[in-house]
Amino acid sequence: MDYFLIALKLIVALGILNVWILRRDQATAYRGKDAKNLREEFDVYGFPFPIFCLIGTLKIGFALALLASLWFSSLAQPAAVGMGILMLGAFFMHLKVKDPFSKALPSLAVLVMCVIIALM
């Protein structure tokens, strides 16, 4: 397997797992508006709690599938496409609440990486 592709999968998967598991209750420079944690960020975007749970489950699932794709390559494209769709949504949510572009940049970067993974 190409080392570049492995690196992209690891960056995306571990980054998402970091945000959704390790740092979900912490403030970061990239949270929407003035949200102090991931749950507050979803409130800023106007999403109810069940959507927060659904998106979290999907993101963690796609991240785990990207990790598993290191051994089972057939998982890579569907996981990358799914994650890319979610990242596109995240990017537009930042635009919706008029966040500075710097807050939307990580979602855009992950989207680009997902497109590359899906096409390789």
Amino acid, single-letter form, for residue 10? L
The whole-number pLDDT of residue 9 equals 98
| pTM: predicted TM-score of the whole model, two decimal places | 0.92
Q: Which domain holds residue 113?
A: 3-119
Q: Structurally, how many domains does the chain consist of?
A: 1
88 pLDDT higher than 80: yes
85 pLDDT higher than 90: yes
Using 50, 70 and 90 to split pLDDT, how confident is the model at 1? low
